[in-house]
Amino acid sequence: MDRIDRKLLALLQKDAARTNAELAAEVGLSPSSCLRRIRRLNATGVIDRVVALLNPAKAGRSVKAIITVELERHGEQHVRRFLDLVAREPTVTQAYSVSGAMDALLMLRLKDMEELDALTERLFREESNVARYYTTFVIRTGKETTEIPV
């Protein structure tokens, strides 16, 4: 990956809806050369996927919650089973197995508290292997980005 690839990636992360001609002009390439580079970045997996990022409030998902989870039983199969369970929940936007005092961290986008209540009933019932969980609500966002430095 060279300087032009990195510049293209930075531009695409800010706005992937730009036309190929606009991108080519920004990086100083012909449109055909620019398109070849972008196709190569896609084919090699550097670009994982292109998506639309929604405004959570306008999409009716203004409540952001972070839940840390401590599992009753540890080990790869127990962690994997829990992560598979949360992966099926549409309100869970990110789920991680983490190191430290907790075993998992979940990021949620919710409509309201009723939706959170229903989710916790499904995820944290007795057979889910959850010993305890803690919910934190985001009051104000200082930074939230999907961009990866290149």
pLDDT, residue 127, reads 78
For the segment 86-123, what is each residue's pLDDT rounded down to a tens digit? 999 999 999 999 999 999 999 999 999 999 999 999 99
The whole-model pTM stands at 0.88
Closest CA to 56 of 9, 81, 82, 91: 91
Instruction: State mean pLDDT over 46-65.
Output: 96
C-alpha angle 61-58-93 in degrees, rounded to nearest 5: 35
pLDDT, residue 126, reads 73
Residues spanned by CATH 3.30.70.920 within the chain? 63-137
pLDDT, residue 125, reads 83
* Secondary element (H or E) of residue 118: helix 113-123
Q: Give the whole-angstrom CA distance, residue 51 versus residue 47.
A: 11
pLDDT, residue 108, reads 98
Instruction: State mean pLDDT over 33-54.
Output: 97
Residues spanned by CATH 1.10.10.10 within the chain? 3-43
Tokens for 135, please give them: 């919910």
* Secondary element (H or E) of residue 71: strand 63-71
Give the CATH fold of the 3-43 domain: Arc Repressor Mutant, subunit A (1.10.10)
Q: Give the whole-angstrom CA distance, residue 117 versus residue 138.
A: 17
For the segment 7-36, what is each residue's pLDDT rounded down to a tens digit? 999 999 999 999 999 999 999 999 999 999
- Domain 63-137 sits in CATH at 3.30.70.920
* 82 phi, psi to nearest 5 deg: -65, -45
Arithmetic mean of pLDDT over the chain: 96
pLDDT, residue 64, reads 98
C-alpha angle 132-134-121 in degrees, rounded to nearest 5: 65
Q: With 90 as the cut, is the pLDDT of residue 130 above it?
A: yes
